[in-house]
Structure 1
Amino acid sequence: MDIFDWLSEKGIPYKNKDLIMNAFVHSSYVNEHKTFLDDNERLEFMGDAVLQVWTTTKLFLLEPPLHEGEMTTLRAQLVCEEALAQYTRTLKLNRFLLLGVGEEKTGGRERDSILADMFEALLGAVYLDSGYASVDKILEEVITPTINKPKSEKVIDYKTKLQEFIQSDSRKTVRYEVVNMSGPSNKPEFEVVVLLDDIILGRGVGFSKKKAEQQAARDAFEKMVK
């Protein structure tokens, strides 16, 4: 079975095969196969936005209605890196991932950060190729059953909490910037700062940009609420 068989099995139409395939191309594969010009990072960006809209809408329409704080916490749990990686495994999408030899040997096919990025990239590709209804078919299968399960309170979306704290006093928006990347190419560690008007509010490190951003937001938030 390839990804197009998988899409057909789910009743999801497709037109642009190159676009769909691009969702599964990791940067390590591009480095070793020069015929591939792009990895899946741009599609991941698109998929992240689609995922946020879908989950926000889903939570907003729940009955009985949830408070804003409850929706924020639950959304963070549903779209965190670990959750997205688990959706990928549930759907057995990691078998379609294209990795470089080194990344494959070091367990990249099971690494949460890579699987989460690939899942978002697929959502972006499907959305661009056949629209929101097709994305809905994928997310209804894996996220909707999860919403009704008991959740741990340990997941906190510090990026949202920080932005809400900043906007309670002004209309300004913070931004995140990668200032350093270290370690081997198959497992880089990112250092990120969060800035407001070019003033550094906090720093964070992590083995993915998203984790580093969350750590930077947490650092800033905890400093500001003291």
Structure 2
Amino acid sequence: MATSNPSHAAVFEGHAFADGSLLTQALSHRSAGSPHNERLEFLGDALLNLIIAEQLYARWPKADEGAMTRARAELVRESALAAVARSLDLGARLNLGPGEMKTGGHRRDSILADALEAVIAALYLDGGLDACRNTVLQWFEPLLAALPPLHQVGKDAKTRLQEWLQARQRALPVYVLLEESGDEHDKRFRVGCTLADPTIATEGSGTSRRAAEQAAAEAALQRIALE
């Protein structure tokens, strides 16, 4: 039996479900028993790829297939989906089995990303493609708006930051691990990124040191853009 909150209002981000069981299933992890969200996850993955592909095609009329493919991969990767799920506080609504609850499954990127895809499928099945598309684009607009210039698509934040500094013959950033917390199954890392020129210090966090460094580098790039 699941140990998380068993009651889910059949409303999600403003969409009132005609069939509330779709939302309940989308929020139910395999560990909680059947019906769970894996079939919905399969459908949601395809829908998300379609919606993002449509947007990139419309927004980048001069982009070739390779650039759009790389941009879509950036937007639909697990860590990006998990970040969107966290912005929606999706973890608090998940129905998990006792084992997953004990190990912090509601905070795990893979579980959050899968649940988000399942919710996307539930929105589609309940309200149709237009309703699904409109809701999903609201969630992903910040990520779409933050995409790097076309020629830099596919390069991670650390690479883009390094290239920006090297092009100006400036010192490379220094990354320092500031904190490591959590147990073996739910570790969190906090990393600092320091630049000498311009003088900038940022922090980033993630479920791995590499992810935390990427987050700190992205924060530095955003600071540079504001300088």
TM range (shorter): 0.5 to 0.7
Tell me, yes or no, if the aligned pair for 2:10 and 2:20 is still in contact at 8 Å. Answer: no
Q: 1:54 aligns to what?
A: 51
Superposition pairs for residues 92-131 of structure 1, below 5 Å?
A: 92-131=89-128
Q: Letter of the 1:39 partner, please give it.
A: H
* Aligned with 2:25 (options 22, 26, 44): 22
Task: Return the alpha-carbon distance in structure 1 between the equivalents of residues 121 and 107 of structure 2.
Answer: 21
Q: Letter of the 2:145 partner, please give it.
A: N
Task: Return the alpha-carbon distance in structure 1 between the equivalents of residues 94 and 45 of structure 2.
Answer: 18
Task: Return the alpha-carbon distance in structure 1 between the equivalents of residues 147 and 73 of structure 2.
Answer: 14
TM-score (norm 2): 0.60
Deviation at 1:13, TM superposition (A): 3.4
Q: Deviations over 1:41-79 (max 9, x none)?
A: 000011011111101101000045322111001000000
Q: 2:189 aligns to what?
A: none
Larger Rg: 2
Matched, 1:147 2:152: no
Runs of 4+ in 1 over 4 A off after TM superposition: none
Q: Letter of the 2:9 partner, please give it.
A: F
Q: Bigger CA drift: 62-71 or 45-54? A: 62-71
Deviation at 1:101, TM superposition (A): 1.1
Matched, 1:43 2:40: yes
Task: Return the alpha-carbon distance in structure 2 between the equivalents of residues 112 and 153 of structure 1.
Answer: 21
Task: Return the alpha-carbon distance in structure 2 between the equivalents of residues 73 and 67 of structure 1.
Answer: 10
Task: Return the alpha-carbon distance in structure 2 between the equivalents of residues 100 and 80 of structure 1.
Answer: 25
Task: Return the alpha-carbon distance in structure 2 between the equivalents of residues 5 and 60 of structure 1.
Answer: 33
Task: Return the alpha-carbon distance in structure 1 between the equivalents of residues 41 and 72 of structure 2.
Answer: 18
Deviation at 1:134, TM superposition (A): 2.1
Q: Letter of the 1:114 partner, please give it.
A: I
Deviation at 1:148, TM superposition (A): 2.1
Deviation at 1:138, TM superposition (A): 2.5
Superposition pairs for residues 59-98 of structure 1, below 5 Å?
A: 59-98=56-95
Matched, 1:4 2:1: no
Q: Letter of the 1:16 partner, please give it.
A: D
Tell me, yes or no, if the aligned pair for 2:41 and 2:114 is still in contact at 8 Å. Answer: yes
In structure 2, stretches of 5+ residues that fail to align are 157-184, 187-227
Give the number of equivalent residue pairs: 149
Tell me, yes or no, if the aligned pair for 2:48 and 2:120 is still in contact at 8 Å. Answer: yes
In structure 1, stretches of 5+ residues that fail to align are 31-36, 156-185, 188-226
Task: Return the alpha-carbon distance in structure 2 between the equivalents of residues 154 and 100 of structure 1.
Answer: 38
SS in 2 for 1:4: coil
TM-score (norm 1): 0.60
| Identical residues among aligned pairs (%) | 38
Tell me, yes or no, if the aligned pair for 1:13 and 1:130 is still in contact at 8 Å. Answer: no
